[in-house]
Amino acid sequence: MDPINKQSLYLKALFFLFFVALGSGSPYFGIFYKHVIVNSDGTPAIGAIGLIFFFMPLVGLIANVPVGILADTFRSGKRLITCLCFGAAFFAFLVGLTGGDIARAWGVGGKFIAIFILLFFMNCCLMPLSSMIDAEALLFLNRHSRRERYGTYRLWGTYGWSVATVLMGTLLFYFGIDSLIFYGAAMAFVVLGLVSWSGIEARPAAVPIHIPWNHLKMDKFFQGFLIFIFLNGVFSNAASSYTGYFFDDVMKTPLEIGLIFGAWTLFEIPVMMFSRVLIDRLGNARLIALGLLFNGLRLILFSFFTLETPFIWKIAASLLQGPGFGFTHIGIVDFADRQAHPDMRATYMNIMNVARMSLAAALGGIMGSWIIAHWGSAFLMQLCGLGLIALIFFVAFLIGRHGRQGNRNEIS
C-alpha cells in the first residue's frame, strides 16, 4: 500500500480506537465512583468523589507539556503514544479490580486511597494521548493535504465513541458489574497501543531540534485564547464529569444512559465530514460560538430531566451535543494549529490541553461536587449551560474580528 494511504488509515484507526477506549470509560467513571466509593450507610461519598474530579485533571500539569516537548524535540510521536497506551491499560485494569471482591472489605477510606493512587498513574498516561493524536494528524495533513480536513479524521473518533458508549451501557445493563467500565477501557488501550506501534512516524526521524520558545512568548493572541480555553474547560468539565452521575438519577437503566451517550454524536458526523467547508465559509470564531450555543442549550435542557421525562425527549435534547462539540472542537483545533510554529505543533496542543483539561477540569470537578452537595446535579447542568452561552461574548471580543485568519504554518 502507498505509504501516504497507509498513514492515513493508521491515523483514522488511532482516532477510532482512542475514542473506543474513552467511550468505554469516561462517561461512566462517575457511575463507578458513585457505586464503589460509598459511605457505611450506602450513600455516595460525594466529597471523596469531588476530590478525585479535582485532583485527577491536575495530573495533566506534569504530563501534557513534557510529552509534547519530547514529541516535538525527538519527533517520536508514535513511540510515545504506544508507551502511554500500555501504561493507561495497566492502571485502568487495576482500578477495575477495586470494584470487585478484592476490595470489598476495605471501607470507603481504603478504596478511595487505592483508586486515587491508581487513577493518578492512569491519567499520567491518558491525559497526553488526545493532544498527541491530534498533533500527529495535523502534522500529516499539513504535509500531505490541508489542515481543514482534520474533521474527516476526527470523525473516526466519533464512530468509536458511539460504538463504545452503547456497548458499555448494554454490558452494564445485562451484567451490572461496575468494574467492566475500567476493564473495557483497559482492553481498548491495549489494542490502541498495538496499532500505534505498527504505524509510521508523521515526521521522519531527525536530529533533535531546538524548540522555538520565543514564538510562544510573543504569541499574545494565543495566550489570550488560553483564557477562553480555561473558562470553557471549567464549565464543560464540571458538566461532563458529573453527567453520568446525573444520568444515574434521571435514567431508568444503564442501557438508556448508553443509548444517550451513543446517540448524541449523530450530528457530529456531518460536522466532522464537512469540516473543511465549514471552516472555509464560517471561520473558526463563528464555529466556536455556535458550538457554545448548542452545548449551553443542551445542558439547560438536561437540567429539566426527571425519571418521568419521556425518553424520546431526552434523546432529542442530547442530539445538540453533536453540533455543539463538533463546531467547538474543529474551531479550536484549527485556531491552535494556525497559531503554532511548525516545530511546536505537539507543544501547542498539549499546552492548550493543560488549560482545558487540567487546571479547568480540576476547578470544574471540585466546583461540581460542591454545587451538587448544596443544590443538586440538575442545578449544576443548568449553571454550566448558562456559563457556556455567556462565553460567546468572550469569543466575539477575542477572535471574532479575526475569523479564520492566522498563521498558515507548514511543516519545515
* pLDDT reported for residue 411: 35
Residue 170's contacts (CB-CB under 8 Å, 6 or more residues apart) are: 255, 258
**Which region holds residue 208: left if phi is over 0, alpha if psi is between -120 and 50, else beta?**
beta
Task: Examine residue 407 and state whether it is found in any structural domain, yes or no.
Answer: no
Residues of the chain with pLDDT under 50: 205-207, 402-412
* pLDDT reported for residue 412: 33
Task: Examine residue 34 and state whether it is found in any structural domain, yes or no.
Answer: yes
Domain containing 91 equals 3-402
Q: Residue holding cell 482500578?
A: 95
Task: Examine residue 255 and state whether it is found in any structural domain, yes or no.
Answer: yes
The verdict on pTM exceeding 0.95 is no
Overall residue count recorded for the chain in this entry = 412
Q: Residue holding cell 444520568?
A: 247
Task: Examine residue 411 and state whether it is found in any structural domain, yes or no.
Answer: no
CATH code of 178's domain:
1.20.1250.20
* pLDDT reported for residue 271: 92
* pLDDT reported for residue 304: 95
* pLDDT reported for residue 72: 65
> Which runs of consecutive H residues, i.e. helices, occur in 127-149?
129-144
Q: How many CA atoms lie within 13 A of 288 on its CB side?
A: 27
Q: Residue holding cell 493543560?
A: 354
Q: Residue holding cell 467547508?
A: 277
pLDDT in tens, 288-319: 999 999 999 999 999 999 999 999 999 999 99
Report d(CA 293, CA 270) in Å as an integer: 18
**C-alpha distance from residue 306 to each of 246, 301, 314 (Å):** 10, 11, 10
Q: Residue holding cell 487495576?
A: 94
Q: How many domains does the structure of the chain reveal?
A: 1
In angstroms and rounded to an integer, the radius of gyration of the C-alpha atoms of the chain is: 20
Task: Examine residue 374 and state whether it is found in any structural domain, yes or no.
Answer: yes
Q: Residue 370: count other Cβ atoms within 10 Å of its Cβ.
A: 15
pLDDT in tens, 317-357: 999 999 999 999 889 888 888 877 776 766 777 788 777 77
Task: Examine residue 412 and state whether it is found in any structural domain, yes or no.
Answer: no
Task: Examine residue 43 and state whether it is found in any structural domain, yes or no.
Answer: yes
Report d(CA 378, CA 255) in Å as an integer: 21
Phi, psi (deg, nearest 5) at residue 96: -60, -35
Task: Examine residue 410 and state whether it is found in any structural domain, yes or no.
Answer: no
